[in-house]
Structure 1
Amino acid sequence: MSTTSSLPWAAAPAVSDAKALYARHTSGFEQRVADTVAWLRRATAEHPGRVVLANSLGAEDMVLTDLIARHQLPIAIGTLQTGALHAETLALIPQIEQRYGLTVDLYAPQQESVVHFVRQHGEQAMYQSIELRKACCQVRKLEPLSRMLGGRSAWVTGLRREQSANRGTMPAVETEANGRVKFNPLVEWSWNDVWHYIASHDVPYNALHDQFMPSIGCAPCTRAIAVGEEFRAGRWWWEDESAKECGLHVKKPEAERALA
């Protein structure tokens, strides 16, 4: 694992151009792109008409969206409209549809569940405890994701090993407990790779990346990172590092799966 001082965002100067700051061509880049396209083609070949990109509207998923469109791959695009996203994040949806001619399917939480949660715990519940924050994620993200994946036999994510220690050994493809296959075709990409691709192909991206937010989630749970901080330091910054997952990409223990 790289040390903090070697990370591309660790010594960020006071600029507001993510492409200028992060985009770097590194050895093996072209092969990593080719490998990613091969993984995407495999997903469509093995799961025709039943694969979706879970697009968080972050930089990595915009790279995958561009590759899907560029290679005309039959992969649906879905995103979780949590009801708490930044305006800058939502602004990408029409840009995707206009630029690529692709439909972005939106999956919102059940309104009655949101209302009940807020009435019971308040608008600021996520700051009160890890349990309440994860309960909010359950309502706003996990339940909508279950509908996004309904009827799908595979899904694609923009996860990379470099993003966190928890993701450091993540495979490019994995089979989940329910038999659904999860493709992570960017696992070997660096943050420099992501932005080199964006810069090379003029890929639309979330304007919040220009404000030192490399990892972007719901507005109450995302802040800019400071010099020297890790990639995901701006997510749930009030929590212990080991807790920083919403549940979308966390494997359940065997006992918990048996009860699910």
Structure 2
Amino acid sequence: MNTLSHGLVTQIANQLDAQGEANPLQNLRLIAEQFAGKAVFLTNFTLEDQLITHWIATHNLPIKVVVSNPNYPFKETYTTWAKTQERYQVPITVYATDGSVLENQPQHPASTTSSFEENLQPILQGEMLLITGTRAGQSWQGRQLTADFSWNKSLKIFEFHPLFHRSFHKVFMEVLREGVPFNPLHNQGYLRVGHAQDIETAHSSEFWDGRWWWEHAQRIFIHPHTPGVRKHAV
């Protein structure tokens, strides 16, 4: 990290600390102002990504939304993608594995299994900040994150993870409360749904330890007048 990068990381990290961890939307807004016109958000239509897309669209944040190498193994992810564009009308730039821009959204799961990180360099040319929905405890580019804002040496770009301090449960509660479209596979016990190598099922204790809250949240936010009846949210 050069001196300029180190200084900027320290400055922004201090600002984020002053803001506190309780309001990731305010932190995202602060970061968007710092890097206006030079920030790109990489979505894979995960639960976390859907919440961030919701914030970007509803608050008109100056952040470009992109998809890289859309080789999702489940058709439900493509359905979520279509619902997201219908709901928010937010421009989503789609990049192929060679870094070229795709004109149309893929409609079916692709057969390739290459990682979406492999071809980020062409996408990030001219950008200064990469935003993802990664939370603490999840891996990003094969490494465990230690901070919400940092300098990525390999990609040579600043990166920010606004939901770093949020639990899966809190993210899900806000998604339900705001009526954000999400992948129906989460109703089937999937914690993380994106590219093939990133899929995480509910064997994780993070999901099952709080299973009661999901039933409760469904009744409150999805079916307030039918207590005891569990239906799919999407």
Normalising by the residue count of structure 2, what TM-score does the alignment of the two structures yield?
Answer: 0.64
Letter in 2 for 1:200: R
Hey, what does 2:127 align to over in structure 1? 152
1:183 pairs with one of 131, 136, 160? 160
Stretches of structure 1 lacking an aligned partner (at least 5 in a row): 1-30, 112-122, 125-135, 233-260
1:73-222 pair list within 5 angstroms = 73-110=61-98, 137=114, 140-163=115-138, 167=144, 170-177=146-153, 179-219=156-196, 222=199
Stretches of structure 2 lacking an aligned partner (at least 5 in a row): 1-19, 100-110, 208-234
Whether the 8 Å CA contact 2:38–2:127 is kept in 1: the answer is: yes
Whether the 8 Å CA contact 1:95–1:204 is kept in 2: the answer is: yes
2: CA distance, partners of 1:163 / 1:100:
27
* Identity rate, percent: 24
The yes-or-no answer on 1:59 pairing with 2:47 is: yes
More strand by share: 2
2: CA distance, partners of 1:38 / 1:142:
27
* Partner SS, residue 118 of structure 2: helix
2: CA distance, partners of 1:69 / 1:185:
15
- Number of aligned pairs? 173
1: CA distance, partners of 2:199 / 2:135:
19
2: CA distance, partners of 1:170 / 1:189:
14
2: CA distance, partners of 1:160 / 1:152:
22
Whether the 8 Å CA contact 1:44–1:73 is kept in 2: the answer is: yes
Q: Deviation digits for residues 171-198 of structure 1, max 9, x if unmatched?
A: 1110122641101111110111101101
Q: Deviation digits for residues 52-72 of structure 1, max 9, x if unmatched?
A: 111121000111111111211
* Partner SS, residue 148 of structure 1: helix
Give the aligned CA root-mean-square deviation in angstroms.
2.8
- Structure 1 residue 219: Cα displacement: 4.2
2: CA distance, partners of 1:93 / 1:73:
20
- Structure 1 residue 32: Cα displacement: 4.6
Larger RCO, structure (CA 8 Å, separation 6 or more): 1
Letter in 2 for 1:58: T
Q: Deviation digits for residues 129-186 of structure 1, max 9, x if unmatched?
A: xxxxxxx53xx4233322222221101111111446x63x621110122641101111
* Partner SS, residue 169 of structure 2: helix
Whether the 8 Å CA contact 2:116–2:195 is kept in 1: the answer is: no
- Structure 1 residue 199: Cα displacement: 0.9
Flag the 1:156–1:198 CA change in 2: closer, same or farther, 3 A: same
Whether the 8 Å CA contact 2:35–2:129 is kept in 1: the answer is: yes
Flag the 1:86–1:147 CA change in 2: closer, same or farther, 3 A: farther
Letter in 2 for 1:72: N
* Partner SS, residue 105 of structure 1: strand
Hey, what does 1:14 align to over in structure 2? none
